[in-house]
Amino acid sequence: MNGVAVAILLLTVGGVIARQLLQRGPPVWVLFLTGAVAMVAAGVLPPSGASEAIASNLPILLFLFALFLFAAGLEQAGALDHVTDWILGRARDPADLPLVLFVAFGLLSAFVLNDALVLVGVPMFFALARRIRVSAEPLLLTLAFSVTVGSVMTPFGNPQNLLVSLGSGVSAPVATFLRYLALPTAINLVVGGLYLRRVYGPRLAFEAQREPLPPARRVPFFPANGIGSAVRRFPVVAIFPITLLAILTADLSSALIRGPPVPLYAIALGGATVTLLASPGRSTLLGRVNWSILVLFAGLFVVVAGAEAGGILPALESTVPIPGPGHPGAALGSILLTSVAGSQLVSNVPWVALQIPLLHGLGYGASTPWAWMALAGGSTLAGNLTLLGAASNLIVVEQAERAGLRIGLRSFVRVGLPLTAITVGVLFACLWAGL
């Protein structure tokens, strides 16, 4: 095992942990980019190896770029604001808001990358809190919890799912995710929403009653004057759902006829390219893309390749507490528990990136989709345990602090710990029943 590779990996991961705990220091993308440069500069990985690590994961980077571009286009068009107004019209009173918002934004996060969704969701939820004159914290925590639970269901709900879908080797990833994760996600959205209504509902109802307001105005999902004018001004309103439909159709068709795998990232990139060419203000649209996340992923791929080249991952295979695929019952529990715990240390995206080659080394592959779904689901739901478990949580916290609201770790864990126990338990039960 290469001692220099170990030192670089420990310093990189240690920097991420320190930043998560102290809430200060260089951005995570800078840490991984520095770690990647160090792997090459120290000779652990040749420049050609770094290029190969990025090139082999280029579909993931392109898929992420497409999803971020779609999210930026929908924000520019005001589509997410309109959907929020429509969702609010479904709530009978403020006490229902946690349930309605949790279910609605959870479902939305399955199709709009959760990190991008919270970027636009935080200011929307602040505006909602001012409108109905309640505290913003319960609403923002509901947003953070909901996009974590809902994004479990599809490969494009969050970055770690995308890593699993393209790095595991499973065929027809959309169909595989829906087959294994749609039911537990549906149960968790309902149960989690009811739980948050019980936790936050009385507080919101009490605060709203101090200055009663008329009920929220119900707006139609489709504008009264039709969507033609909106599509002409902002083509993304039509291109995004068409692209999603094309991805779902191609993937499900591949699963049914057992044909060659369809490059889903190419469909997403094609739709994003058409959006960019057809939209007004292209430079503004590109400026809204979260480029730092793309740099983080590129650095992460190089760091993981360096860890593999340095013999770190093969060494971990002999010590990791995950049985091989011949013991599915024990392995399922181990993958879920290690995913929940490991994601608290380095956040879920780096954890999954490290686990994919490790699971391959233990013998997991396309024939064991349940293991990959456990990794995706467990690492994602781990985000509701502490603020450190998911990048989307940190985005919510940072955006809230800019607006003058500090969300503490204690208030997050007090609600998130039971929610994580419930949702991981449901996921384990559903995956266990399918073994």
Q: Decide if 31 contacts 14 (C-beta within 8 A).
A: no
pLDDT band at 333 (very low <50, low <70, confident <90, very high): very high
Task: Please answer whether residues 16 and 350 qualify as being in contact, where contact means their C-beta atoms are separated by less than 8 angstroms.
Answer: yes
How many whole angstroms separate alpha carbon 175 and alpha carbon 173? Answer: 5
Contact by Cβ (8 Å): 361, 404: no
Taking only the tens place, the pLDDT of each residue in 169-227 is: 888 899 999 999 999 999 999 999 999 999 999 998 888 776 555 555 666 766 666 66
Which of 228, 226, 248 lies closest to 238, judged by CA?
228
- How much of the chain exceeds pLDDT 70, in percent? 90
CA angle 117/122/268 to nearest 5° reads 10
Whole-number pLDDT of residue 218: 66
Q: What is the pLDDT of residue 223?
A: 66
Q: What is the mean pLDDT of the chain?
A: 85
Kindly indicate the confidence band of residue 311, based on its pLDDT and cuts at 50, 70 and 90.
Answer: confident
User: What is the arithmetic mean of pLDDT over 286-302?
Assistant: 84
Instruction: Quote the CA–CA distance of 429 and 53 in Å, as a whole number.
Output: 36
Q: Which residue has the higher pLDDT, 224 or 242?
A: 242
Read off the tokens for 29.
Answer: 């993308």
Rounded Cα distance between 370 and 435, Å, is 8
Q: How many residues does the chain have?
A: 435
In this structure, of 68-72, 97-101, 316-320, the range with the lowest mean pLDDT score is 316-320
Q: What is the pLDDT of residue 18?
A: 80
What digits encode the pLDDT tens for the residues 384-424?
998 878 878 877 877 787 778 888 778 899 999 999 999 99
Cα gap 116→147, rounded to integer Å? 10
Please tell me the predicted confidence (pLDDT) of residue 216: 53
Which of 188, 222, 3 has its CA nearest to residue 103?
Answer: 188
Q: What's 195's DSSP letter?
A: H
Please give the pLDDT value at position 213.
52
Using CA atoms, how far residue 133 sits from 203, 307, 343, in Å, is 12, 51, 35
Q: What is the pLDDT of residue 2?
A: 79
Mean pLDDT computed over 250-273: 80
- Between 61-70, 125-134, 325-334, the lowest mean confidence (pLDDT) is in 125-134
Whole-angstrom distance, CA of residue 161 vs CA of residue 352:
9
CA distance 164 to 152: 12
Q: Token pair 């840490």 is at which residue?
A: 31
- Average pLDDT of 53-68? 87
pLDDT of residue 14: 82
pLDDT digits (tens, 9 = 90+) for 102-112: 999 999 899 88
Residue 20, pLDDT score? 63
Tokens of 181: 């994760």
Q: 4-33 pLDDT, tens per residue?
A: 888 998 888 788 778 767 767 788 788 889
CB 116 within 8 A of CB 184: no
Q: What are phi and psi of 371, to 5 degrees?
A: -70, -40
Q: Which tops the pLDDT comparison, 224 or 329? A: 329
Neighbouring C-beta atoms of residue 36, cutoff 10 Å: 26
